[in-house]
A and B are shown apart, each in its own frame.
Chain A
Amino acid sequence: MAELLFWPALLAYGEAAVAYAGNIRHPGSLGRAATWGVRIGWLVQTWLLVAQAARADGFPWSTWAGSLNLFVWLLVTGYLVWGCRPSYRVLGLVLMPLAAGLLAVSYVAGGVSSDTGGNFSTAFLALHVGLVLAAFAGFTLSAGLAGVYLWQERRLKRRTAGILRPQAPALVALDELSAKTIVVALPALTVGIAIGLGRLFERGGGIDALMAATLLTWCAYAALLVVRYGLGWRGRRVAFLLLAGFALVVTVHLALPASHFA
């Protein structure tokens, strides 16, 4: 059942990615088709996750591939909060290819099956994995917003004649939204890490590379909030910092998972 739901979800996300690309050239109906692709894909993926949860004996997204599946869902959920507005369709062009690609990787690696974490309780995994992934989804969204900010800022600096097409979010809105996303995501990461460390101290064991990188990520985003709200940094500098932070997220999620998930 869950495997069957993967294909329509991937198809809908893929359609959204292609339609968002077309929307750059012909804004209007393609943008609406893309938004519907995101909505339908999200609904189908939600169903997929429910089916996985119903079938699994425990938390079904504790493997690396499974966590990718849940991460994609959280990312699209976050995007849907703003993504339905026409001006944020540019952000969809950044996020939906990523969502479709990661979902496909998750499928290939067995992330839509119902494998469970085995050694850990469902409640611990749901909180630890769920919160860390939610935070990473927030960081990814924030990086997407920063990317769109830099693109829009560059167009304004170049005085591009076609600056008004395609419609894009305002610079100030992108700047504020990306920072606010971190304000929400960082506490989630804090709690997720705290729960993980609590279990680590309880059971004993060392800090692996992924844990260290995750702690480094936390420090980076905490520092970012300090410079943004404490020192009043805005605009391009903060956008570059957000992209640098996202590089850490990619490292944590894609490059270092082997030891931790094992």
Chain B
Amino acid sequence: MTSSGLTLVGTSHHHAPVEVRERVALDGDAAASLAAELAVEGYEAVCLSTCNRTELYLVGAEAEARAERALADLAGGEIGSVLYRLHDEAAALHAFRVAAGLDSMVPGEGEILGQVRAAYEAGVPGPVLDRLFRQALYAGKKVRAETAISESPTSVASAAAALAQQVFGNLEGRAVVVIGAGETGELTARNLAKRGGRIVAVANRGEERSAALARRFGASAVGLDALERVLPQADVVISSTSAPDYVLDADQVRAALGRRKGLPLLLIDIAVPRDLDPGIHALDSCYLYDIDDLEAVVQASLAGRREEAARAESIVGLEAERFGAWQASLDVVPAIAELRERAEAIRAGELARAEGALGRMSETERRVVESVTAGIVNKLLHLPTVRLKEAAAGADGVAYADAVRHLFGLDEPEDARS
């Protein structure tokens, strides 16, 4: 492997159970320290560690063995069987898939892109890893911009919020009434509040529990008997009590609708048994979704994500090819630079030998000679340079570079060439 070789060693939720992953998981500081520890003797190192994966990206000789040792140390024992080892373009493709969210548990999830950026910023990248991670971030953004992979919700709570946006658009200032003080209801309310929704009341049988939840949202706590009073001001109702019967029936909602002047009302029932009378859905401008409806929305959304993932794969595939071509060009760059240095040295040497004749020339004539000789050298080297770069993009880059070194004696000492 050349010094520019990229190595990735890691494990993820696809390969290792949580008992193994938790042993190699690192927080941000520890990941930065490990990268710094590995980045000695000219190594480049970036450590990406999330709840689903720990991956070491290294550039340098014997990088694979070094990364495996580091992960075994973290795990407190041998974990070779759950590690994947990828090199060069395959490693780049993996990095791009990770950044695009294609390797995530939920395809297209958005958090991973920030985690990749954080790992890159905390790592010790050199030319190769710098290019790799910048391109990974670009690929991640491109996939999200050009496909709809990250547009849809992946949980009941976020599906409820997305539905509210389908009805009201911007949720800024929209009034939300929460019935019940359970965890799922709170989570759903939080999702709405995060998007601008205003929790105005928490209604529950147990005053104490609803008061605590209401305080957290800056809302008022009311009993279930006060529901009819708060209902007219609600745009969204979330219900998740453990009541055995309906806590809100169609007549109560119909009475509230009169004062809403035709504004729509979205009701989310995440309780089992259901809290809200299904007859409410038949009322004009009322949209009632129960837990099964929300699950169906989530499933359809995940199916949509998987469909979009196929398009995203082609985007990251192209990016990986671009990275491979760039990386291959690194193999011939030193040969090209040395060839040009050698040619320039010959040109300068020949001009020095002709110093006697040149000395009799005017400054203008001298500049013309300089320019002509430099032009000849550039023209002679142009085509070999282009061909070398082209060959580098294929599999022959190293062979061509070696041939150039041999033909022009670039590895030989100065006196042996002449």
Residues of chain A at the chain B interface (Cβ within 8 Å): 26-29, 152, 156-157, 159, 161-165, 167-173, 232-237
Task: State whether the Cβ of B329 lies closer than 8 Å to any Cβ in chain A.
Answer: no
Task: State whether the Cβ of B385 lies closer than 8 Å to any Cβ in chain A.
Answer: no
Shortest CB distance A164–B (Å)? 5
Instruction: Check A235 against B146 for contact (C-beta < 8 Å).
Output: no
Residues of chain A contacted by B166 (CB below 8 angstroms): 152, 156, 163-164, 168, 170-171
Instruction: Check B301 against A172 for contact (C-beta < 8 Å).
Output: no
Shortest CB distance B267–A (Å)? 12
Known contacts A28-B148, A29-B146, A169-B169: does B296 contact A161 (CB below 8 Å)?
A: yes
Instruction: Check B153 against A172 for contact (C-beta < 8 Å).
Output: no
Instruction: Check A235 against B285 for contact (C-beta < 8 Å).
Output: yes
Instruction: Check A235 against B261 for contact (C-beta < 8 Å).
Output: no
Residues of chain B contacted by A152 (CB below 8 angstroms): 166
Shortest CB distance A99–B (Å)? 26
Instruction: Check A161 against B300 for contact (C-beta < 8 Å).
Output: yes
Instruction: Check B262 against A172 for contact (C-beta < 8 Å).
Output: no
Nearest-neighbor residue (CB-CB) of A168 within chain B? B166
User: How long is the Cα–Cα vector from A152 to B146 in the complex, in angstroms?
Assistant: 24
B80-135 residues at the A interface, CB under 8 angstroms: none
Q: 3 closest pairs, A vs B, by CB?
A: A170-B169, A234-B262, A161-B300
Nearest-neighbor residue (CB-CB) of A176 within chain B? B169
B292-309 residues at the A interface, CB under 8 angstroms: 293, 296-297, 299-301, 304, 308
Instruction: Check B263 against A26 for contact (C-beta < 8 Å).
Output: no
Instruction: Check A172 against B293 for contact (C-beta < 8 Å).
Output: no
User: How long is the Cα–Cα vector from A151 to B162 in the complex, in angstroms?
Assistant: 18
Residues of chain B contacted by A168 (CB below 8 angstroms): 166
Residues of chain B contacted by A237 (CB below 8 angstroms): 262
User: How long is the Cα–Cα vector from A28 to B165 in the complex, in angstroms?
Assistant: 20
Task: State whether the Cβ of B217 lies closer than 8 Å to any Cβ in chain A.
Answer: no
Task: State whether the Cβ of B229 lies closer than 8 Å to any Cβ in chain A.
Answer: no
Residues of chain B contacted by A159 (CB below 8 angstroms): 281, 289, 293, 296
Shortest CB distance A78–B (Å)? 20
Residues of chain A contacted by B289 (CB below 8 angstroms): 159
User: How long is the Cα–Cα vector from A152 to B165 in the complex, in angstroms?
Assistant: 12
Nearest-neighbor residue (CB-CB) of A174 within chain B? B169
Task: State whether the Cβ of B147 lies closer than 8 Å to any Cβ in chain A.
Answer: yes
User: How long is the Cα–Cα vector from A168 to B165 in the complex, in angstroms?
Assistant: 10
Task: State whether the Cβ of B326 lies closer than 8 Å to any Cβ in chain A.
Answer: no
Nearest-neighbor residue (CB-CB) of B147 within chain A? A28
Residues of chain A contacted by B293 (CB below 8 angstroms): 159, 161
Nearest-neighbor residue (CB-CB) of A234 within chain B? B262
Instruction: Check A171 against B167 for contact (C-beta < 8 Å).
Output: yes
Instruction: Check A236 against B287 for contact (C-beta < 8 Å).
Output: no
Residues of chain B contacted by A27 (CB below 8 angstroms): 148, 151
Task: State whether the Cβ of B311 lies closer than 8 Å to any Cβ in chain A.
Answer: yes
Residues of chain B contacted by A26 (CB below 8 angstroms): 311
Instruction: Check A164 against B284 for contact (C-beta < 8 Å).
Output: no
User: How long is the Cα–Cα vector from A232 to B304 in the complex, in angstroms?
Assistant: 38
Task: State whether the Cβ of B138 lies closer than 8 Å to any Cβ in chain A.
Answer: no
Shortest CB distance B166–A (Å)? 6
Instruction: Check A165 against B167 for contact (C-beta < 8 Å).
Output: no
Q: Could you list 25 examples of A-B contacts with CB < 8 Å?
A: A27-B148, A28-B146, A29-B146, A156-B167, A159-B293, A161-B296, A163-B297, A163-B300, A164-B162, A165-B148, A165-B151, A168-B166, A169-B169, A170-B165, A170-B168, A172-B168, A172-B169, A232-B261, A232-B262, A234-B263, A234-B285, A235-B262, A235-B264, A235-B284, A236-B284
B363-406 residues at the A interface, CB under 8 angstroms: none
Instruction: Check A173 against B153 for contact (C-beta < 8 Å).
Output: no
User: How long is the Cα–Cα vector from A27 to B301 in the complex, in angstroms?
Assistant: 13
User: How long is the Cα–Cα vector from A174 to B277 in the complex, in angstroms?
Assistant: 28
Residues of chain A contacted by B168 (CB below 8 angstroms): 170-172
Known contacts A28-B147, A234-B285: does B304 contact A171 (CB below 8 Å)?
A: no
Nearest-neighbor residue (CB-CB) of B304 within chain A? A165
User: How long is the Cα–Cα vector from A92 to B40 in the complex, in angstroms?
Assistant: 58
Residues of chain B contacted by A234 (CB below 8 angstroms): 261-263, 285
User: How long is the Cα–Cα vector from A164 to B301 in the complex, in angstroms?
Assistant: 7
User: How long is the Cα–Cα vector from A150 to B369 in the complex, in angstroms?
Assistant: 81
Residues of chain A contacted by B287 (CB below 8 angstroms): 156-157
Nearest-neighbor residue (CB-CB) of B235 within chain A? A172
Task: State whether the Cβ of B152 lies closer than 8 Å to any Cβ in chain A.
Answer: yes
Residues of chain B contacted by A165 (CB below 8 angstroms): 148, 151-152, 300-301, 304
Highest count of chain B CB atoms <10 Å: which of A157, A165, A173, A236: A165
Nearest-neighbor residue (CB-CB) of B164 within chain A? A170
Instruction: Check B264 against A172 for contact (C-beta < 8 Å).
Output: yes
User: How long is the Cα–Cα vector from A162 to B284 in the complex, in angstroms?
Assistant: 22
Task: State whether the Cβ of B163 lies closer than 8 Å to any Cβ in chain A.
Answer: yes
Residues of chain B contacted by A29 (CB below 8 angstroms): 146
Instruction: Check B153 against A233 for contact (C-beta < 8 Å).
Output: no
User: How long is the Cα–Cα vector from A6 to B287 in the complex, in angstroms?
Assistant: 46
Residues of chain A contacted by B300 (CB below 8 angstroms): 161-165
Shortest CB distance A86–B (Å)? 9
Highest count of chain A CB atoms <10 Å: which of B262, B284, B296: B262
B162-187 residues at the A interface, CB under 8 angstroms: 162-163, 165-170
Shortest CB distance A59–B (Å)? 41
Shortest CB distance A12–B (Å)? 22
Instruction: Check A161 against B148 for contact (C-beta < 8 Å).
Output: no
User: How long is the Cα–Cα vector from A189 to B167 in the complex, in angstroms?
Assistant: 31
